[in-house]
């Protein structure tokens, strides 16, 4: 007997259809699985046999069973093949009608009692099933909402056990397809627990974060311990424009593949905020491993990656950030595969000005000597700093601001200004390919959209000469100036916009080396 059940495999953040083929013959008991299964898939043999027996079905121990996962040259991993393998075996034994099997993509991990547990990558599988013209998706109940968000033309049937799946496919148990209302999901979940109103003082730092959000610029904050750098960074996502549906789907696909979605969660509707510890490895940061998985830069896609105590990160870890910061994606190459993960994130970094943290702090005496400070600062390479558009100093908060009863400006009000500036950029770059904000401009676009008057050129020339800035830093100043002008609703870049942008290059000043 031969049977076929359709499932899917994850390749990067996308899925491809996998056909689970089961062949039974002879009277010699054996169980073989081929098609490049990893150890997780091979172990499904024990789960499948126990689930079939504990669900009240028979299992042919006296037959030679061969299971092939096609295409056979694609590595298969994960526990999502349990349910399709079990259904394929039952179909080959004649206990399951094959009438509906061709129409469905089936996923699910089996417990030993036959109940279903959630699996990873269901959203990607739903997108691929719809693309291939399948009529429906049979998946664990806890994954159903995640798949139903792309269910136009695809019916999603939530299943709780192997018995339910068999009865549904045999037309014994009717199950209604799940439907979700995307507007309700966004309205209920698109809110942040934090707000800029909670931050006392630091108005110039809030302004720099607003500029960073408006233009999609990376930012680094330099200040003593307790000055509020982490507090400000955690509120950075709250002033970014709300996620669009396409951005939400792409972000959710990454988190689904990584297994980070909460049970029953349909979509990620707020900007991700990832804050890895400084002991993180390069593979954990950009992705990788024996069986590659997305790293922190991909989990921060369309959101914020916050690196606190930046100089404490290993130098090789910081250097691998350079490529995704420039390109917006990460390519992981192995002998058997090459995967690409999106990584379009905003970098927010924080650091102390010296090892003790109190260099230039008027309230505390710094215990570091100039060589120690220079060695500390040299842990961050020049090429990496050049990729960070905004450097801002964060001084200690004074008592007057701390004791004030007045709340700061609401994140929602700042976000409105950011959205207005982003709209100007969208209109400006609508004919440009792969440019969505000022931070993405290349040299050609900078020459076209960042023209200065004579006074502005003189001011920029003076700054470049005195600070010894690199060509990349020159471009960064022009990009930030364009964003500041957009926030002011100005078509021209004025001298005051250039002056403010120059102030956001703190680490280029020589005083940080002494």
Residue 226, pLDDT score: 87
C-alpha 235, offset from chain centre: 17
Mean pLDDT (the chain) is: 90
Number of domains in the chain: 1
Per-residue DSSP letters for 252-267?
HHHHHHTT-SPTT---
Q: Which residues contact 382 (CB under 8 A, 6 or more apart)?
A: 470
Residue 514, pLDDT score: 40
Query: Is residue 121 a contact partner of residue 221, using CB atoms and an 8 Å limit?
Result: no
Give, for 339, the enclosing helix (H) or strand (E). Answer: strand 338-342
**15 found inside a domain:** yes
From first CA to last CA, the distance across the chain in angstroms is: 79
- Count the Cβ atoms, other than its own, within 10 Å of residue 466: 12
Q: Which residues contact 183 (CB under 8 A, 6 or more apart)?
A: none
In this structure, what CATH number is given to the domain that contains residue 144?
3.30.230.10
Omega into 38 within 30° of 0, i.e. cis?
A: no
**247 found inside a domain:** no
- Give the residue among 254, 317, 257, 310 at the shortest CA–CA distance from 284: 317
pTM of the model: 0.90
Containing structural domain, residue 7: 2-169
- Count the Cβ atoms, other than its own, within 10 Å of residue 343: 27
Average pLDDT of each block of 10 consecutive residues along the chain (514 residues)?
92 93 87 92 95 93 91 91 96 88 95 96 94 93 91 89 96 92 74 88 93 96 91 95 91 93 87 95 88 91 96 92 90 81 95 88 86 88 87 85 79 95 93 85 90 90 79 86 96 93 77 41
The DSSP 8-state label assigned to residue 37 in this structure reads: B
**234 found inside a domain:** no
Query: Is residue 87 a contact partner of residue 52, using CB atoms and an 8 Å limit?
Result: no
**24 found inside a domain:** yes
Beta strand segments in 186-308, E:
219-222, 273-274, 287-288, 293-294, 304-307
Which position has the token pair 């500029």?
211
Residue 18, pLDDT score: 97
Which position has the token pair 């950009």?
286
**254 found inside a domain:** no
- Give the residue among 204, 469, 487, 485 at the shortest CA–CA distance from 502: 469
Per-residue exposure over 455-464, b if at least 16 CB sit within 10 Å of its own CB, e if not: ebeebbeebb
Which position has the token pair 């969208």?
426
**148 found inside a domain:** yes
**57 found inside a domain:** yes
**139 found inside a domain:** yes
Per-residue DSSP letters for 431-475?
TSSS--SGGG--HHHHHHH--B-HHHHHHHHHHHHHHT--HHHHH
């Amino acid at each position: 007997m031969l049977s076929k059940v359709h499932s899917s495999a994850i390749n990067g953040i996308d899925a491809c259809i996998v056909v689970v083929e089961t062949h039974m013959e002879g009277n010699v008991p054996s169980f073989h699985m081929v098609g490049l299964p990893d150890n997780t898939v091979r172990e499904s043999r024990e789960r499948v046999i126990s689930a079939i027996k504990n669900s009240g079905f028979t299992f042919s121990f006296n037959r030679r069973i061969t299971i092939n996962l096609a295409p056979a040259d694609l590595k298969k991993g994960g526990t999502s093949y349990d349910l399709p393998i079990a259904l394929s075996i039952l179909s080959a034994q004649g206990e399951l009608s094959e009438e509906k099997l061709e129409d469905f993509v089936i996923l699910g991990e089996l417990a030993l009692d036959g109940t279903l547990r959630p699996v990873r990558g269901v959203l990607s599988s739903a997108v691929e099933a719809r693309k291939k013209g399948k009529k429906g998706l049979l998946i664990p109940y806890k994954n159903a909402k995640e798949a139903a968000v792309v269910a136009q033309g695809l019916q999603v049937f939530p299943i709780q056990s192997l018995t339910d799946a068999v009865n549904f496919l045999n037309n014994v148990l009717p199950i209604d397809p799940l439907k979700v209302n995307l507007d309700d999901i966004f309205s209920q979940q698109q809110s942040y627990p934090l707000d800029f109103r909670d931050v006392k003082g630091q108005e110039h730092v809030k302004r720099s974060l607003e500029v960073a959000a408006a233009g999609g610029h990376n930012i680094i904050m330099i200040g003593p311990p307790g000055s509020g750098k982490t507090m400000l960074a955690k509120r950075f996502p709250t002033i970014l424009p709300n996620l669009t549906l396409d951005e939400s789907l792409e972000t959710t696909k990454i988190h689904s593949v990584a297994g980070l979605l909460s049970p029953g969660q349909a979509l990620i509707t707020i900007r991700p905020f990832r804050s890895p510890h400084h002991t993180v490895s390069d593979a954990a940061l950009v992705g990788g491993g024996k069986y590659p998985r997305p790293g922190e830069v991909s989990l921060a896609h369309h959101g914020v990656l916050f690196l606190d105590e930046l100089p404490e990160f290993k130098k090789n870890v910081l250097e691998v950030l350079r490529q995704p910061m420039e390109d917006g994606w990460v390519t992981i190459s192995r002998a058997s595969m090459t995967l690409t993960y999106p990584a379009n994130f905003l970098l927010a970094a924080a650091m102390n000005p010296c090892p003790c943290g109190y260099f230039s702090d008027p309230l505390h005496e710094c215990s570091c000597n100039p060589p120690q400070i220079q060695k500390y600062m040299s842990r961050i390479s020049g090429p990496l700093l050049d990729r960070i558009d905004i450097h801002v100093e964060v001084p200690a908060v004074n008592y007057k601001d701390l004791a004030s009863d007045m709340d700061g400006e609401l994140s929602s009000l700042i976000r409105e200004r950011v959205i207005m500036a982003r709209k100007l950029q969208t209109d400006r770059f609508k004919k440009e390919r792969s440019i969505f904000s000022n931070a993405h401009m290349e040299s050609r676009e900078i020459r076209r959209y960042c023209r200065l008057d004579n006074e502005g050129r003189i001011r920029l020339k003076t700054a470049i000469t005195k600070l010894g800035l690199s060509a990349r830093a020159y471009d960064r100043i022009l990009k930030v100036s364009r964003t500041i002008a957009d926030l002011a609703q100005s078509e021209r870049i004025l001298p005051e916009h250039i002056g403010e942008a120059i102030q956001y290059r703190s680490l280029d000043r020589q005083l940080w080396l002494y």
